[in-house]
Amino acid sequence: MRLKKYLFAVLLGALVFTISCRKEEGTIEPPIEEEEEVKVDTTEEKIKGMSLEEKIGQLLIVGIEGTTIEEDTIKLIENHKVGGFILFSRNIRDEYQTLELLNNLKEINSNNDIPLFLSIDEEGGRVSRLPKSFKKLPEAKIIGDINNKDFSFKYGKILGERVKLLGFNMDFAPVLDINSNPKNPVIGNRAFGSTIDVVVDNGLEVMKGIQSVGVIPSIKHFPGHGDTDMDSHVNLPKIEKNINELENLELVPFKKAIDDGVDMVMVAHILFPKIDSEYPSTMSKEIIDEILRERLGFKGVVISDDLTMGAIVKNYSLENAVVSFLKAGGDIALVCHGKDNPSKVIEKIKEALDEGILGEEEINEKVYRILKLKEKYEIEDNLIDTIDLGGLNEDTQELLKNMNK
């Protein structure tokens, strides 16, 4: 009996010893779960460190008056921290002056943390702001008539290379309007054609061609300018179509572009009374927030057409129009004319924030989208030392030679 107790004690001791050893070796302890790594959204962190002035500035792309930097331009950058500039023919004399002007804008902005959007309307055809030293490109209608996707992509690539050569990083092109109204005074041959297929097949390839060289394309003019009989530069066009009619025609190219990853959409100044009887597209929550954002699923940056155009300033105050655009879901207000207008607009946005018409959280969401776009395209205020216009013109000539093949 004593022997049995002795053996039992020995066995028990051995078992305890074994378990103790294994614990030390970590063989039977459950694995310690590693803490999940917390991912920090650097863009959100950047926004937290921005002043209200910096945030509001990002909501504007503005025009300037001359061909050189003036004191007003310096104030726009240093005091108002504007998000970007647009140049027109009035700002462009030749390629060397344009290069110097863009370099100067970048140099002045180098003290700010956020680089500039530098934009231009370069569609080809009659809408071209570049110097005459750039070989002329045909209008979109001719590209649509050729109706070759590979050719359209190369055309878009040339468009992107032209603007990038001088230091631009954004092109307000291509036009995705369907030219369905023969009396249209503003679109016409700027459109790729009068049918959905021609506009989609060629417009989207031009968009991708621009993207392929690191330039941001902005498709336009949402929700469709092709059925107007009035020029929105002069006054406010009106289209008597409901949402179902738009979905069957005008919206199709925009929806296809959204599905294909477009990053920026420009909204037109057009009144659609059957959708919003009070406000044109650029000021309409129904059109920007409900149709473009929710129905079509666009998550990118929404920019207005120039808010100093006749369609707006003949019917609304510029400052109120900008606030309405932002409230409706827009991100960047394009203010192309009037040297005092940007500061007036900025003050009105501040006033709207003070009065609770706009909320800072809304502003943060807009700035987030804008900064993400600048990050995606790796926008930086890098200076360009030299340009090879000869090489680009040779590429353009080669493209033109293949037009009829």
Cite the active site residues.
Answer: 233, 305
**Residues 249, 251, 255: CA angle, nearest 5 degrees:** 130
Segment (H or E) for 67: none
Q: Which of 379, 370, 372 is nearest to 54 (CA)?
A: 370
Segment (H or E) for 354: helix 341-354
Instruction: State how far the Cα of 385 lies from the Cα of 147, in Å rounded to an integer.
Output: 37
Phi, psi at residue 122, to the nearest 5°?
A: -135, 90
Assign 339 to helix, strand or coil. coil
Tokens 């340009």 -> residue: 387
Pairing of strands 127-128, 216-222: unpaired
Longest dimension (CA), the chain: 116
Torsion sign across C-alpha atoms 279, 284, 290, 292: positive
